[in-house]
Amino acid sequence: MTDAEKLEVRDITRIERIGAHSHIRGLGLDDVLEARAVSQGMVGQKEARRAAGIVVQMVREGKIAGRCILLAGEPSTGKTAIAVAMAQALGNETPFTSMSASEIFSLEMSKTEALSQAMRKSIGVRIKEETEIIEGEVVEIQIDRPATGTGQKIGKVTLKTTEMETNYDLGNKIIECFMKEKIQAGDVITIDKASGKVSKLGRSFTRARDYDATGAQTRFVQCPEGELQKRKEVVHTVTLHEIDVINSRTHGFLALFSGDTGEIKQEIRDQINGKVMEWREEGKAEINPGVLFIDEVHMLDMECFSFLNRAMESDMAPVVIMATNRGHTRIRGTNYRSPHGMPLDLLDRMIIIRTVPYSEKEVREILKIRCEEEDCVMNNDALTVLTRIACDTSLRYAIQLITTANLVSRRRKSTEVTVEDVKKCYALFIDEVRSSKILMELQDEYMFNEIESDKAKDKDSIKGKGKDKDEEKPAEPMECGDN
């Protein structure tokens, strides 16, 4: 066998990554926003999903700006999953920006600038534009090149529709576009008169028997109807952040690819806002407000909360969705305690959606969906054991065991995961509860241990408080003669 025959060709276009929430396709609601038990990858959390469905309807209408929603609940109750489901339900047309609160603490730009850019990425602008195009089937194309190789090329093309046929003389720029697109007789093309851009729509059905000119990827289309010259409305969808970058950098739109957007001046943003409002009044553009999702929002500090509080009052603000798993805790950077680690004035502006822990039946359904997503065949007994483990430890830990147990079963040439495979992985990979227990038992064996020192500190502080009370005596009044 030659080396060429041994060569393995891999189709890299079909490689797909399996993520933590890649199984979610939507919120799983019916037409009247009632949550189904198991649908589109979502399980349980019916009340939270119904509330999220109402928020999705609010975003689609796009009339109310700056609404703030908080997803609050215990860890592993599906807060991020609901946010991902909302993004899927809104579709590609609505801008959805997802970020973690820790991302804004960067040395590249200020915290408020990072939040401003995130908010403006979440607002889309649909710009309508009318252009004149020539659309037809190429009957004949003739390009004459000078014999010397230098000088202008001369070209003619005959285009037709079902009703008419016309000859066109081609300029040098259009000839280059024709050669680049490899246009030949039988192709259905469009030519933008303003820019000179040539686009190939496909081959005409009348040329379907030209086997020499066709391949596996050839697309056949009907010959256009009506006149050759038409007016067509083109809609471009961009975000406000993209407009900001194009207008603030000398490189223009290339800054979007390099990622070096830097700080953008407020004056530029104000001018862009005014221009977009003007376009909207003239009917040239539509504002499509989207969603900004901030996960682990308790990691923001007081400056960020103050900025968000003010930014959400703007007309050009998206719907902001936040998620947190904290209870009563300190606001970052301060000594003030507050629900969810957030200021009370911001909490007053929010509508809070609560997520509740999953029941054992719901946990089993989630694990079943994850097994299908990860192409893991697990028998019922193994799934029951894994569900029990998830209830005793955590859902995240049980999901981690699916792939590892699958690898163990494949190692012994088995087609499905059994109870023994799950037990083996449970013994190999310890969870947080068992890890904490081991640390308590063997704390003296580790290099550093602060459990004893904490107890000692507590005792010292109690003694210190007692001494302070004894020492705190009212000071004797000073006489006038004392210095």
Per residue of the chain (483 residues), give pLDDT as tens: 444 444 344 443 344 567 777 788 888 888 888 888 888 888 888 888 888 888 888 888 877 777 888 999 888 888 888 888 888 888 877 888 888 888 888 767 888 888 988 898 888 888 887 788 888 888 888 888 777 767 777 888 888 888 888 888 888 888 888 888 888 888 888 888 777 788 888 888 777 666 555 556 677 888 888 888 888 777 778 888 888 888 876 555 555 555 556 778 888 888 888 888 888 888 888 888 888 999 889 999 898 999 998 888 887 888 888 999 988 889 888 888 889 989 898 888 888 999 988 888 888 888 888 888 888 888 888 899 999 998 888 888 888 888 889 898 888 888 888 899 889 999 999 888 888 888 888 877 777 776 654 445 555 555 555 544 444 444 444 444 443
Q: C-alpha 218: how far from its chain's center?
A: 33
For the residues of 167-217, what is the DSSP string, one character each? EEEEPHHHHHHHHHHT--TTEEEEEETTT--EEEEEEEGGGTT-GGG--TT
Pairing of strands 198-204, 154-160: unpaired
CA proximity to 289, closest of 71, 96, 98: 96
Task: Give residue 251's pLDDT.
Answer: 54
Task: Give residue 475's pLDDT.
Answer: 45
Alpha-carbon radius of gyration of the chain: 32
Task: Give residue 43's pLDDT.
Answer: 85
Number of helical (H) and strand (E) elements in the chain, helices listed first: 16, 17
184's tokens: 């030949």
Task: Give residue 203's pLDDT.
Answer: 83
For 394, counting Cβ atoms within 10 Å of its Cβ (0-12 exposed, 13-18 middle, 19+ buried), the class is middle
CATH superfamily, domain at 128-234:
RuvBL1 DNA/RNA binding domain (2.40.50.360)
Residues of the chain with CATH 3.40.50.300: 38-122+290-355
Residues 187, 88: Cα–Cα separation, whole Å: 37
Residues 334, 261: Cα–Cα separation, whole Å: 31
Residues of the chain with CATH 2.40.50.360: 128-234
pTM of the model: 0.69
Q: C-alpha 206: how far from its chain's center?
A: 44
For the residues of 398-447, what is the DSSP string, one character each? HHHHHHHHHHHHHHTT-SSB-HHHHHHHHHHS--HHHHHHHHHHTGGGSS
Task: Give residue 476's pLDDT.
Answer: 47
Residues 364, 246: Cα–Cα separation, whole Å: 50
Residues of the chain with CATH 1.10.8.60: 360-436
Residues 213, 203: Cα–Cα separation, whole Å: 9
Task: Give residue 107's pLDDT.
Answer: 62
Residues 56, 107: Cα–Cα separation, whole Å: 34
Task: Give residue 220's pLDDT.
Answer: 81
- CATH, domain 360-436, list 3.30.70.580, 1.10.8.60, 1.10.645.10, 3.90.1210.10: 1.10.8.60
Domain spanning 38-122+290-355, CATH architecture:
3-Layer(aba) Sandwich (3.40)
In this structure, how many other beta carbons lie within 10 angstroms of the beta carbon of residue 426? 20
